[in-house]
Homo-oligomer: A and B are copies of this chain.
Amino acid sequence: MSIPAGADEGSGMPARTTERRRRLREATLDEIHAAARRLLVDKGPAAVTINAVAREVGMSGPALYHYYAGYDELVGAVTAGFFRELAEAMGRARDAHPGAPIAERLVAACRAMRAWATTHPAEFGWIFASPVTPSNRQPASARHQAAQRFEQILLDLFVELWRTHPFPVPDPADLPPSLREQLAAYSDTIGGLLPPEAAHVFLTCWTRMYGLLCMEVLHQLDFAYTDMEPVFEECLRDLAGRLALDLPAQSATPPAT
């Protein structure tokens, strides 16, 4: 299930350890994640407590502190797993038809994002609802890195689109200076892969799609919509027009993980 995360998981991480132990530890971590997820899906976010997870795994309370320094770190690790799974689903959709035009692969990845979100509402909601503690905001944290790799997926697609079929961008002179500066800074942090104006278009698309999903999963639009699927498709269509993509009329939503 889980690709080795690479980063240290907890502060209880042992220093020197043998291979057998390492595998056992990994298996226990997987068990812990699975138990936390089961509790989240079955009984809601409030049921994901250290004690309950430990009980589920079959060990008693404080034993979990050998795997995570505390509740926040456990939450961060579980969230990171969700980000990874979401990114994997989007990556699979992107790579499903390697020969397809970039526009179609981009839209496929976007649809995969919503497909994962709607088939895993508890997990996707957890991404927003669980408060991001200071420790989980550090760039070295598993959560931050997984979130970054998730964002990277759409960014990479935009970069490829920009290289091969550049989309219309606003005249930088039309943007307020403060925004221009921030876009220039962001353009730097992504290694200049997109110029500031193109980064602006990317961030606008990202914000609208991700924001729509956020509102959907937080039930902020229940007063108007019962089924957000066509709303998301409308949003996609609008953004596609803004990116001057030429797409077939409608393609099937790809299956999720």
Contact = CB atoms under 8 A, between A and B. Distances in A.
Interface of A, secondary structure class, is helix
B148 A218 contact: no
A65 interface: no
B178 A128 contact: no
A211 interface: yes
A220 B150 CA distance: 13
Contacts of A218: 128, 214
The copy count of this chain in the complex is 2
A204 B215 CA distance: 12
Interface stretch (A76-84, A99-107, A230-238): A230-238
Nearest to A179: B230
A199 B207 CA distance: 22
A176 B233 contact: yes
A5 interface: no
Which range contains the number of A residues in contact with the other chain?
A: 35 or more
A227 interface: yes
B220 A178 contact: no
Given A207-B221, A220-B214, A227 B131 contact: no
Given A148-B223, A182-B225, A207-B215, 11 more contacts: A137-B219, A137-B222, A147-B223, A176-B233, A185-B226, A199-B224, A203-B221, A204-B234, A207-B231, A211-B214, A211-B215
